[in-house]
């Protein structure tokens, strides 16, 4: 089965349940907060009043949404090995453009030895000057790995199998990789 992408132009409530599709991560944004976490750590991911923009992703695909000017939402679903469900329009067959690519996430690990208040338990907490608070990335990490590695958002690229609609990129995972 080839990868597919489809969209919903206007909705008021999520009609697709990404956690059932094996999606592991949530990257969500609201008026006063932004988070990159495991879906299990964000039980209110589907609260459209709180999270006006977001994406849920994992090995099987990605579901993303964004608030429209009229207050409705636009949703896009890309699945690697499953058919796009009913309700999504203009389904396009895709082909993968190679192996996943790791993109460096901003931030320096908050070393608990240097900042015990900022990271009391040695968790995967990173600080970037662009964000007003320490971010906890959904990573399994130990102190030595954090010093020699950096957090990466792993993405996969696709193109329209017919060559008419262009290229698409989706998130796959969050990992620590050697710098």
Considering the domain architecture, whether residues 162 and 120 belong to the same structural domain is answered as no
**SS3 annotation, 43-107:** CCCCCCCCCCEEEEEECCEEEEEEECCCCCEEEEEEECCCCCCCCCEEEEEEEECCCCEEEECCC
Rounded-to-integer distance, Cα 179 and Cα 166, Å: 32
Strand, coil or helix: 110 = coil
**Residue 91 belongs to a domain:** yes
| Number of folded domains that form the chain | 2
Task: Over range 133-154, report the average pLDDT.
Answer: 73
pLDDT digit string, tens, across residues 15-63: 777 656 679 999 999 988 888 999 999 999 999 999 999 999 999 999 9
pTM of the complete model: 0.85
**Residue 161 belongs to a domain:** yes
**Residue 66 belongs to a domain:** yes
Considering the domain architecture, whether residues 32 and 116 belong to the same structural domain is answered as no
Considering the domain architecture, whether residues 57 and 130 belong to the same structural domain is answered as no
Considering the domain architecture, whether residues 78 and 8 belong to the same structural domain is answered as yes
């Amino acid at each position: 089965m080839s990868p597919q992408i489809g969209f919903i132009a206007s909705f008021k409530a999520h009609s697709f349940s990404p956690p059932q599709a094996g999606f592991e991560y949530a990257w969500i944004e609201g008026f006063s907060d932004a988070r990159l976490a495991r879906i299990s750590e964000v039980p209110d991911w589907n609260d459209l009043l709180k999270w006006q923009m977001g994406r849920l992703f994992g090995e099987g695909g990605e579901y993303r949404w964004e608030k429209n000017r009229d207050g409705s939402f636009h949703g896009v679903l890309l699945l690697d090995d499953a058919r796009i469900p009913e309700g999504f329009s203009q389904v396009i067959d895709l082909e993968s453009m190679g192996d996943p690519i790791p993109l460096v996430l901003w931030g320096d690990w908050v070393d608990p030895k240097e900042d015990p208040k900022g990271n009391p338990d040695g968790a995967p907490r990173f600080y970037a000057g662009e964000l007003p608070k320490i971010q906890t990335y959904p990573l399994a990490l130990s102190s030595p790995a954090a010093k020699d590695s950096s957090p990466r958002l792993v993405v996969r690229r696709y193109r329209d199998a017919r060559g008419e609609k262009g290229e698409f990129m989706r998130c796959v995972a969050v990992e620590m990789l050697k710098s």
